[in-house]
Amino acid sequence: PKRPVALLGLGDMGTALARTWLAAGYPLTVWNRTPAKAAALACEGAVVAASPADAVAAADLVVLCLLDDASVGQTLEGVDVSGKDLVDLTTGTPGEGRERAAWAAARGARFTDGGIMGTPVMMGVPASGAYVFYSGSRALFDAHRAALEVPAGARFVGEDPGHAALYDVALLSAMYGMFAGISHAFALIEAEDIAPKDLAPLLSEWLGAMGFFVDNVAERLTSRDFTTGVVSNLAMQVAAAPTLLRTAAEQGVGTELLAPYLDLMRRRLDADRQARSGEDTTGAITLLTRQVVSS
């Protein structure tokens, strides 16, 4: 028999998670601050708890999927969580993950933080590629692995309870950089006789091809060798930047999505040239990683 799961939080994501556990045959107890959101799930077989304390009492595995860490604190205030296994799928910072882990430890609970890489419609759909980063108690993760793998894939990234959030936010931050570029690219063709659908496949293909930079940057950051095997040096890229900015001006497109990155490249090159006179041969993206870290 499958062990019961308690789930606190029935927003878009919590509701999607709940349906996957019900579909997989897990006894599920749910709680939501606004009770109306639990009505449909009750018809589908979930037990609706009247309070967070009742929900927590219903299962060893207690999953939280609330708006933010503050709502987790409010929801569990005064609730006895001793002996429970808390899995917090609420998005938060690494610091919040660590503090929540200490909070749980002080109350006698095991704690694993989670960062969901996927949207509600991807939950329970193995082919969607969605997964969750987990970090914190390995013993908790191992004990409940089968249940945790029901909504999406599970990737344990270490016992530091801050690391699930850190991986999560690192990927999300990269995604927003990509979104900025995609928005700008489509804006450039907006006033032209080019169909967005004609640009789309070219853009997807190009972003995929440029994905190799991820490994390239990782290798340089690991070897600390920033001078050999450079693909496109910084000075060349800084020289090319005005072309990108002038093209935006010609097309009547704002540069706010592009200018910060180009400006960072220029500042890094200036600093490099002040530090040492000579040829600039260093790789751009790697240097910018260091520039961002130090600014």
Residue 122 in contact with ligand NDP, rule: CB under 6 A: no
Nearer to ligand NDP, 74 or 183 (CB): 74
Residue 11 in contact with ligand NDP, rule: CB under 6 A: yes
Q: Across the chain, which distance is largest between two alpha carbons, in Å?
A: 73
Residue 228 in contact with ligand NDP, rule: CB under 6 A: no
Residue 90 in contact with ligand NDP, rule: CB under 6 A: yes
Region near ligand NDP per CB under 6 A, out of 112-120, 138-146, 148-156, 256-264: 112-120
In the complex, minimum distance from the CB of residue 152 to ligand NDP, in angstroms, rounded to a whole number? 10
The values of phi and psi at residue 32, to 5°, are -140, 145
Among 33, 184, 266, 267, binds ligand NDP (CB under 6 A): 33
Name which of 96, 103, 86 is nearest 137 in CA terms: 86
Q: 3-class DSSP state for residue 80?
A: coil
Whole-number Å distance between alpha carbons of 56 and 8? 8
Nearer to ligand NDP, 34 or 222 (CB): 34
Residue 67 in contact with ligand NDP, rule: CB under 6 A: yes
Residue 59 in contact with ligand NDP, rule: CB under 6 A: no
Residue 34 in contact with ligand NDP, rule: CB under 6 A: yes
The β-bridge partners of 135 are 113
Residue 112 in contact with ligand NDP, rule: CB under 6 A: no
The β-bridge partners of 134 are 114, 156
In the complex, minimum distance from the CB of residue 284 to ligand NDP, in angstroms, rounded to a whole number? 31
Amino acid of residue 3: R
Region near ligand NDP per CB under 6 A, out of 6-14, 76-84, 139-147, 149-157: 6-14
User: Total number of residues binding ligand NDP (CB under 6 A)?
Assistant: 21
Cα dihedral across residues 153, 132, 160, 291: positive or negative: positive
CA angle in degrees (0–180, nearest 5) for 134-136-140: 85
Whole-number Å distance between alpha carbons of 20 and 46? 11
Residue 277 in contact with ligand NDP, rule: CB under 6 A: no
In the complex, minimum distance from the CB of residue 72 to ligand NDP, in angstroms, rounded to a whole number? 8
The β-bridge partners of 30 are 7, 48
Q: How many residues does the chain have?
A: 295
Whole-number Å distance between alpha carbons of 47 and 38? 9
> In the complex, which residues of this chain contact ligand NDP (CB under 6 A)?
9-14, 32-34, 37, 65-67, 71, 74-75, 90-91, 116, 119-120
